[in-house]
Amino acid sequence: MTHMIRILSVDDHPLLREGIASLIEDQADMEIVAEASNGREAIEQFRAHRPDVTLMDLQMPEMSGIDAIIAIRAEFPEARLIILTTHAGDVQVSRGLKAGARGYLLKASLRKELLETVRAVHSGHKRLSPEIAAEIAEHATAETLTPREVGVLRLVAGGNANKEIAARLSLTEETVKSHIRSILSKLGANDRTHAVTIGHKRGIIDL
């Protein structure tokens, strides 16, 4: 008798959880033992069921997937988690891997890659979607934004002018301009709007 891979499925969209369940129910070697719709529920369900593999969405209400992964891994260091996301942003991916995820899948590729990834992670391997691996490789040598620059970029994304950003962060306008010049240079952006687009695509900021 093959050992059943027991799976916890975490996503705030019931339709996505249903899609995952229908993929898994046809497999002789895996079963869904619990579901959760946010990070807090995920931690509770993990404690209750101790699944072999957890499928974790990133953007969820109440508590993000990354925070849930950090909390679960602090309590259960051997936990094997796979992140499911709509974005292949390299910064977001790095954050997820640092938090302890062992797999990273784009939701668009679930039908093609989910079952193979679950088996690989259950066997102790790491697995990334090819698109995600390519995104990481492309930005491997890119300069990272400082926490202050990320804060400035978030405020730019919120539609704030330099004067408003300066007031919000207790900086001079000149300092804000200097931060923005550095952000544009590091991201290879043409202007503020382009910087926001790149920042969102790479997972540096959420919009």
Q: Domains plus CATH for the chain?
A: 5-137 (3.40.50.2300), 147-201 (1.10.10.10)
Percent of the chain with pLDDT over 90: 71
Task: Please check whether residue 32 is in contact with residue 9, taking contact to mean a CB–CB distance below 8 angstroms.
Answer: yes
Flag whether pLDDT at 115 surpasses 80: yes
Place of tokens 């640092």: 98
Check: CB of residue 66 under 8 Å from CB of residue 91.
Answer: no
**3-state helix/strand/coil string of 29-79:** CEEEEEEECCHHHHHHHHHHHCCCEEEEECCCCCCCHHHHHHHHHHHCCCC
**Rounded Cα gap, residues 62 and 26, in angstroms:** 32
Beta bridge partners of 84: 57, 105
- Tell me how far apart the alpha carbons of residues 183 and 124 are, in angstroms, rounded to a whole number: 38
Separation between Cα atoms, residue 93 and residue 77, nearest integer Å: 19
Binned at pLDDT 50, 70 and 90, residue 125 comes out as very high
Question: If you average pLDDT over residues 192-207, what whole number do you get?
Answer: 88
- Yes or no: say if 97 and 121 are a contact pair by the CB < 8 Å rule: no
Q: What is the pTM of this model?
A: 0.76
**Residue 49 to residues 30, 43, 70: CA-CA distances in angstroms?**
14, 10, 18
| pLDDT tens per residue across span 15-74 | 999 999 999 998 999 999 999 999 999 999 999 999 999 999 988 888 889 999 999 999
Q: Is the pLDDT of residue 94 over 80?
A: yes
Q: By C-alpha distance, which of 180, 182, 205 is closest to 89?
A: 205
2 pLDDT tier (thresholds 50, 70, 90): low
The CB density around residue 206, as the number of other CB atoms within 10 Å, is 13
Average pLDDT score, the chain: 91
Contact by Cβ (8 Å): 8, 36 = yes
pLDDT band at 1 (very low <50, low <70, confident <90, very high): very low
CA 55 to chain centre: 12
Q: Give the pLDDT confidence of 142-182 residue by residue, as tens digits.
A: 788 999 999 999 999 999 999 999 999 999 999 999 999 99
Rounded to an integer, the average pLDDT of 70-93 is: 89
